[in-house]
Copies of this chain bind each other. A is one copy, B any other.
């Protein structure tokens, strides 16, 4: 059994990490860390969890190296930056779910994360990316940084165009729609149920940093290019799951058949990405409700055939922001890191309808 610790145990991603680790055949939960709720049991913080987990939340010190083989950091970026420095070289594997180590280009990092001071030497050692796209680098990685929920969906949606077909993307406009769990459990008035329910909240109409993270990642890849890239993000009236719509204008025209084939081919060995035709089920897909609680990302690509659409390509990607967008993806990365089957502990099917 691989011994796993979760830091940030009180948060939503922390809760799902505990859920997934305790369901995992090869991982054992041996440490729960946090700065608040010290001494509390998981079921007090996450009422759904099993009542008999023996651990309580504890502060993080370098002594945890004796307790764990891997540490998941489900902490805010500034905390992750600190903890990574503390734990690197002490713990065999550190997996950071925050934005602290996502952007490689230093100026870009500083622009989008001005408050997150990280040691550059440490940053350069982090492997970053969606596991499907960086699988080979994970095998021996000691430090792993994972994209955020939106960036995961956007990247998985665009990768077959750039990395697969090698297309130049002249203009990409991303519209992201997320349930309220994406914002965590901070006490903020707009997130109270009376104000958040029924809302279509344009909380980030411009300047969402996940767009920058996607851009930085794709720019550093060898094939394809991305020109203008912008994003707007909206909170909609449910809790778990997000959908990203990437509206793409390419340098070269490409037809629906070619697109569909390219997507299927690109993901044929990746069971967590399901390429779905728009009309194959009793509801329109992709829809995040069809991946709820699972590690799937459902992707659909459509060429807009309308004469006036300017050759627009619509790429839709749906995932559970707390699983494939956070905890599940982190477990997936750890599976690859420790040579386990990629799907170990992640075979749960979506709970639908919910």
The chain A residues found within 8 Å of chain B, CB to CB, are 12, 15, 19, 22-23, 43-51, 171, 173, 175, 177, 179-181, 183-185, 187-203, 205-207, 211-212, 215, 227-230, 232, 234, 236-243, 245, 247, 249, 274, 276, 278, 280-294, 300, 302-306, 308-310, 312, 314, 316, 318, 347-354
B353 touches A239 (CB 8 A): yes
B282 touches A195 (CB 8 A): yes
In the bound complex, how far is the Cα of B284 from the Cα of A205, in angstroms? 10
Q: Can you list 7 A-B contacts with CB-CB less than 8 angstroms, sorted by A residue number?
A: A22-B349, A44-B280, A185-B194, A187-B192, A191-B192, A205-B302, A237-B237
In the bound complex, how far is the Cα of B187 from the Cα of A196, in angstroms? 13
B47 touches A283 (CB 8 A): yes
- Kindly name the residue among A50, A188, A191, A197 whose own CB sees the greatest number of chain B CB atoms within 10 A: A197
A351 touches B280 (CB 8 A): no
A198 touches B228 (CB 8 A): no
Least distance between A46 CB and chain B CB atoms (Å) = 7
Q: Name the B residues within 8 Å of A278 (CB-CB).
A: 202, 205
Least distance between A291 CB and chain B CB atoms (Å) = 7
In the bound complex, how far is the Cα of B325 from the Cα of A82, in angstroms? 46
B245 touches A247 (CB 8 A): no
Q: Name the B residues within 8 Å of A12 (CB-CB).
A: 194, 353
Known pairs A195-B185, A293-B354, A353-B12; A283 contacts B201 (CB<8 A): yes
B15 touches A352 (CB 8 A): yes
A189 touches B187 (CB 8 A): yes
Known pairs A23-B347, A230-B306, A353-B12; A192 contacts B192 (CB<8 A): yes
A281 touches B47 (CB 8 A): yes
A350 touches B316 (CB 8 A): no
A202 touches B234 (CB 8 A): no
A187 touches B190 (CB 8 A): no
Least distance between A275 CB and chain B CB atoms (Å) = 9
